[in-house]
Structure 1
Amino acid sequence: MTALLDKSPVLLLFVVLSVGTALGAIRIRGISVGPAAVLFSALAVSALDARLALPEVLGTFGLALFAYTVGLTAGPSFFSSLRRGARPVIVVFGVLAGLGVLTAILGRILGLDKGTVAGLYAGANTNTPGLAAAIERLGGAPEPTVAYSLTYTGGVLVLLAAAAYGIRHGGQEVAEDLPGSEAIINATIKVTRDNVLSVRELTVTPHGRVLFSRHQVADGSVDMSRSETVLRPGDRVLAIGPRAAVEHITKQLGRRSKVNLDEDRQDVDFRRIVLSEKQFYGRTVAELKLWTRFGARATRVRRADHDFLATDGFILQAGDRIRVAAPREKMSAVARYLGDSEHGTSDINPLGLALGLAIGLLFGALPILIPGLGTLVLGNAAGPLIIGLLLGRMQRSGRVVWTLPHQGAEVLTQLGLLLFLAYAGGRAGSAFIDALRTPLGWKLIVAGLLVSAVHGIALVVLASRVLRANGPRTAGFIAGSQTQPAVLAFANAATRFNPEVALGYALVYPVAMVTKILVAQILTFL
């Protein structure tokens, strides 16, 4: 069997993937290690026979594909996080950078080589892309993989404990200056105040923007809200936006109505429409021109499992589900205009994907002179990642659409990750066994637990004291900073899917991912 696997790398790949994904699907108290199990299965196989290793080109392909699609997906939220949520982003960046310093100090004390230090950092913080960047920077050396493998499990367990503590003991207030502190809601408001205002004057509040989809005048007739619509006492209006913003508008206009305009679909209807018309990929909501064409209005956009307010500047992607309010007789025409077809929404857009990857790999191959450190080559991880972030933010250039449908991006991201993990584990099996038999292995385990503990404690303290985040949001910060799905799954289950968890996670995840990759690479220079 060993001889057969040695002669057939493709068969070896699928054996490793089969065993690893099966192990990764096993849940213990609702928690699984996920794709990381492929790394451990590859380690086990290569420990049996050092010849059972996959070709380097396979690992390079998986790494570049993974890094590029991560950047492409995170691009919009990464840059918006920098704009909208400076405080939590700065806190997470500071903690992760500080952990890099701590890891470097521990490496000096323990006499570790730079590859092992980088792997220790990646494993203690459970960040596979950081491991990938370190391995690629060191030309495929096994030391980062060994250190990562020994410290990964401890990192997951320690940060699970930190999330549990944060949920139980976190503050109860939510800082109002954090973006997206509440989910999108709608409410029918009855106008009782005499101060006559137009819809245009009400869309911006101190708590975020509000959209108005329909309007009922005192005689009971319902129509679409226009920007010039003037709200008078006795009118009702349907407002959509963050809870705090909707409540602010409610107090400004009058009170909540017992009549729900959402239930009146006789004249104005609403539905979710799948965006599958390619000409609109990467365009803004305003560029749809729904109002001028149909007298319709987009109110929300659902992407993956999250709802977003459909503001004029919101950039659309393939497969987005747009909630549209429109005159009943125009709804079918709106659906045809936007596509409303599942077919094609998972296409991988070969031109944009291939061109973006090529640009990323070329950028990663360029030598960059850094005073004091020498020449830095970003390589096959950081190069595609950075280009992916930039192209993900741009969305499209003329006729070239850079973004991928959410489902397609997820598939490619996971495929790239699995290919790289299968390759990396196959190069380090014997070194992993050797490390377990020496004091070095136990030193790494203890050092990893220390780094993970500092990570968890720092985030719990700073989230509650500096950011004044509540328990679920603190757990979301920890999950996002860890960039590993186990903590997110645990926090969601423990809080019964409190939306604060997802909001905290989404805010810091992109910055945490990029920071860890860069810090892991920097550690290979020290």
Structure 2
Amino acid sequence: MIALSSVIGILLGAIKYKGVGLGIGGVLFGGIFMGWLAQELGWIPNFSGDSFKTILDNGGDVVKNAEAVGKVHTFKEILHYVKEFGLILFVYTIGIQVGPGFFASLKGAGLKLIGYAVLIVFLGAAIALSFNVFFDMNLDSTIGIYAGAVTNTPALGAGQAMIKDLVDGMAAGAVPAGFDANNVASAYAVAYPFGICGIIITMLLIRFFFKVNINAEGEKYELQKKSNRKDLDTQNVSVNNSELFGLKISDISVLKGNKVICSRLKRGDILMVPKADTVVYAGDILHLVGNDADLNAACGFIGEPVQVSLTTKGTELSVRKIVVTNEKILGKTLDSLEIKSKFDVAVSRLIRTGMEFIPHKGTTLHFGDQLNLVGRKESIDAVANIVGDSTVAMQKVHMLPVFIGLFLGMMLGSVAIPVPGLPAALKLGLAGGPLVVAILLSRFGHNITFGKMHWFMPASGNSALREIGIVLFLAIVGFNSGASGFVDTLVHGDGLTWMGYGVFVTFIPIFICGILAYRVSKINYLSVCGAMAGSMTDPPALAFANGMYKNSEASSLGYATVYPFTMFLRILTPQLMIVIAYALMSK
């Protein structure tokens, strides 16, 4: 039944109208259908009502009744286990994916986007909480509407887990109305559809009201990107400073540090890879690598920039990127490999987690590092044999660090923070703990090595584990909801009311913040659209934003900038809402 729920849901999510569809959210509705069908046809124990009491009140053989109760209990325990395991896989792989860029996003223009995303999160939570405070809506329905309206599955998991903890901490018979985890899932499912399309509608409304020219916004982003670019650059400089004639490369002060490196030297018609003891003479042309400011300073000291090509084409030298995959050299320094002295190959730059920097002798090598090498082809091949450069190794998922990370995440999520007056303590839970640990491990894990173990996870493996996790979670959330009377709630209960409330939670925060970001803070419209999609953790909305302009970098970067903060806050806010609501309820 779990598999059938997943199959139906994935097929349903693949249906699109003008590029818009439910995406992975279709699995939720596939589960609802299967849960309803299984209940109607009697394939599963009765989920609705007080199952245990109903069975026992029917009289008859006590042993058979006890067996029936056991079947209901076992069935629910299986579903609960698979659902929680799916959630853990999902949030952990999200953390691994966004972790490397998480801390880099905490500077520059990204701070404004993060600020607006935080405002969207808390404004939505405040609107949802007002339903409980001012309109006497049950707390479980409020949490479900909030999670569904912002299309955030971990928020659903966090809300359900805390309500369950509250119920478990209360005395028998003291559980008030509005503390049913199944109602959380039902309200989530009802509010979810508009949450999917509401963000897209908001993008279109802002574009219509302010007559946004998409091409102009795209070109503006490209120009801004070039002006702000701080990646490594190159410069060719002629040695004209007489004080440097006859000096070794290692004795030139501007080349001693880690800011500028000389990767090629041309003397007459000869192009070579300079070593530390290579002597420079008047008229030598050095190919320098560094950022603009450091390059300008070095060129001013050495001589004059020249527009001479130092290309390796037609020479014995070549340029090639290789990837560190050999587990035997992980943690070793570049100096210990003696790449330049043994092989006459220069490492002009190193790329790690998408960031370029100048390597130095003490730079330690991590799995997945990309080295830009300059040298003879056979020499580069020899270096590649040492560092690995294996595409097969880059696609392999090492499961030991995955499960160590999952274990640490579950431990962190289980740390309880007591809140006075609340039966259950506040904690990150299974939705928050693995996320935080994954972000930290993916960013700083290369500093923690145990033999051959590393924390790198290839994109394909990460995507597979993430999709398996979210499909299992949504399928069972939907199945439980469908088996517990979702259809009846929608048709005869409060379903339509919940849907209407969900529209407010979805639309108002992103519409207000979208206008403020674009008009007041003057942030690029494409970046704003990506950030709005990220603030709702909504991949279908990101896909729509990416399709607006030929280059999707602006919207994708906006999404990635706010996503980690948003995901963390989306997990935390349902728990804060429950704490506040319970405190008000106790007065």
Matches of 1:513 and 1:225, distance apart in 2:
48
CA, structure 1 residues 365+250, in 2 after alignment: closer, same or farther (shift >3 Å)?
same
Does 2:426 align with 1:376? Answer: yes
Larger Rg: 2
Report the Cα offset of residue 102 of structure 1: 1.9
Report if aligned partners of 2:5, 2:479 keep a CA contact under 8 Å in 1.
Answer: no
Does 2:333 align with 1:309? Answer: no
Does 2:107 align with 1:56? Answer: no
- AA aligned to 1:464 is Y
Name which of 90, 94, 101 aligns with 2:115: 90
CA, structure 1 residues 24+83, in 2 after alignment: closer, same or farther (shift >3 Å)?
same
Tell me the residue number matched to 2:93.
69
Does 2:568 align with 1:511? Answer: no
Report if aligned partners of 2:232, 2:356 keep a CA contact under 8 Å in 1.
Answer: no
Tell me the residue number matched to 2:346.
296
Report the Cα offset of residue 79 of structure 1: 2.9
Matches of 1:176 and 1:299, distance apart in 2:
25
CA, structure 1 residues 121+246, in 2 after alignment: closer, same or farther (shift >3 Å)?
farther
Looking at secondary structure, tell me which structure has more strand per residue.
Answer: 1
Report the Cα offset of residue 499 of structure 1: 2.1
Tell me the residue number matched to 2:136.
111
Q: Secondary structure at the match of 1:344?
A: helix
CA, structure 1 residues 284+441, in 2 after alignment: closer, same or farther (shift >3 Å)?
farther
Mapping of residues 111-150 of structure 1, within 5 Å: 111-139=136-164, 141-150=181-190
CA, structure 1 residues 372+174, in 2 after alignment: closer, same or farther (shift >3 Å)?
farther
Q: Secondary structure at the match of 2:418?
A: strand
- AA aligned to 1:160 is I
Q: Secondary structure at the match of 2:18?
A: coil
- AA aligned to 1:309 is E
- AA aligned to 2:561 is L
Report if aligned partners of 2:263, 2:348 keep a CA contact under 8 Å in 1.
Answer: no
Q: Secondary structure at the match of 2:124?
A: helix
- AA aligned to 1:391 is L
Does 2:498 align with 1:441? Answer: no
Q: Secondary structure at the match of 1:503?
A: helix
Does 2:7 align with 1:18? Answer: yes
After TM superposition, the score normalised by the length of structure 1 is: 0.80
CA, structure 1 residues 237+27, in 2 after alignment: closer, same or farther (shift >3 Å)?
farther
How many residues are matched?
Answer: 505
- AA aligned to 1:66 is F
CA, structure 1 residues 248+479, in 2 after alignment: closer, same or farther (shift >3 Å)?
farther
Mapping of residues 316-327 of structure 1, within 5 Å: 318-319=367-368, 322-327=371-376
CA, structure 1 residues 147+260, in 2 after alignment: closer, same or farther (shift >3 Å)?
farther
CA, structure 1 residues 381+159, in 2 after alignment: closer, same or farther (shift >3 Å)?
same
Report if aligned partners of 1:175, 1:469 keep a CA contact under 8 Å in 2.
Answer: no
Tell me the residue number matched to 2:191.
151
Does 2:102 align with 1:78? Answer: yes
Tell me the residue number matched to 1:459.
513
Matches of 1:196 and 1:168, distance apart in 2:
57
Mapping of residues 425-504 of structure 1, within 5 Å: 425-429=478-482, 430-438=484-492, 440-465=494-519, 467-504=521-558
Deviations along 1:43-75, whole A, 9 cap, x unmatched?
Answer: 111112335576221112111222222223333
Name which of 387, 390, 396 aligns with 2:440: 390
Aligned-pair Cα RMSD in Å:
4.2
After TM superposition, the score normalised by the length of structure 2 is: 0.73
Q: Once structures 1 and 2 are overlaid, which stretch shifts more, 215-224 or 144-153?
A: 215-224
Report if aligned partners of 1:120, 1:144 keep a CA contact under 8 Å in 2.
Answer: yes
CA, structure 1 residues 486+217, in 2 after alignment: closer, same or farther (shift >3 Å)?
same
Tell me the residue number matched to 2:401.
352
Report if aligned partners of 1:62, 1:420 keep a CA contact under 8 Å in 2.
Answer: yes
CA, structure 1 residues 345+339, in 2 after alignment: closer, same or farther (shift >3 Å)?
same
Matches of 1:180 and 1:17, distance apart in 2:
47
CA, structure 1 residues 398+232, in 2 after alignment: closer, same or farther (shift >3 Å)?
same
Matches of 2:197 and 2:284, distance apart in 1:
57
